Structure 1
Amino acid sequence: MTSRTTQTFVHFSAPFRLPDFDTLQPAGDYRVDHDEEAIEGASWLAWRRVGAFIHLPGIGMRGSTHQMVPINPADLEAALEKDRQP
């Protein structure tokens, strides 16, 4: 099965928390990796997301460790939408 990882970057203007996170994360830019696999048997190229990971700490932030934490893409979208609200 063919797979790929795509990267996106998200920005939070305010500190945020995602479900299953132990601590509040600071505002800033974060890299998000999306793991996808090809849908076989289709006559066109299609991909199915099988995992998403956020990199902590955020870009340009200092931390003693760096980690990739699995996230639910719907939870990330909800947190970003909440961050955009005044």
Structure 2
Amino acid sequence: MTIRSRRESVTFKHPFHIRGIARELPAGAYEVVTDEEMIEGLSFAAWRRVATMITVPAEGGPGGTAEMHAIGSIDLADAQRIDASAAND
């Protein structure tokens, strides 16, 4: 089984909540890592998402300390949609 990881930076313009994290997160840029596995047995390359994780500042930790939380890709998309619509208000 072949696994690949994709990293991207996601920016929130407003404080936000995301399911799976019990606290409000501050506005800013966050690293999102998506792990995908190759679907074998096909005549072309295809990948299936198996995990999505976001790196957030550690709660109460010293500056620069971070935590990685597993989240749902739909939950991330919902948080991004809410943030974008708040910018239009």
TM-score with structure 2 length normalisation?
Answer: 0.86
Cα distance in 2 for residues equivalent to 1:31 and 1:64: 14
Cα distance in 1 for residues equivalent to 2:54 and 2:34: 9
Given that 2:20 and 2:70 are in contact with CA atoms closer than 8 Å, whether structure 1 keeps it comes out as no
Residue 84 of structure 2: aligned partner:
84
Residue 38 of structure 2: aligned partner:
38
- Where structure 2 has 5 or more consecutive residues not aligned to the other structure, the ranges are none
Cα distance in 2 for residues equivalent to 1:35 and 1:63: 27
Cα distance in 2 for residues equivalent to 1:80 and 1:54: 13
TM-score with structure 1 length normalisation?
Answer: 0.89
1:20 offset after TM fit, Å?
A: 2.3
1:65 offset after TM fit, Å?
A: 2.7
Aligned residues: CA RMSD: 1.3
Which residues in structure 2 correspond to 1:47-58 (within 5 Å)? Answer: 47-57=47-57
Q: Percent identity at matched positions?
A: 41
Which residues in structure 2 correspond to 1:1-86 (within 5 Å)? Answer: 1-57=1-57, 63=63, 65-85=65-85, 86=88
Counterpart residue type for residue 67 of structure 1 = E
Cα distance in 2 for residues equivalent to 1:11 and 1:64: 18
Q: Give the secondary-structure state (helix, strand or coil) at the position aligned to 1:77.
A: helix
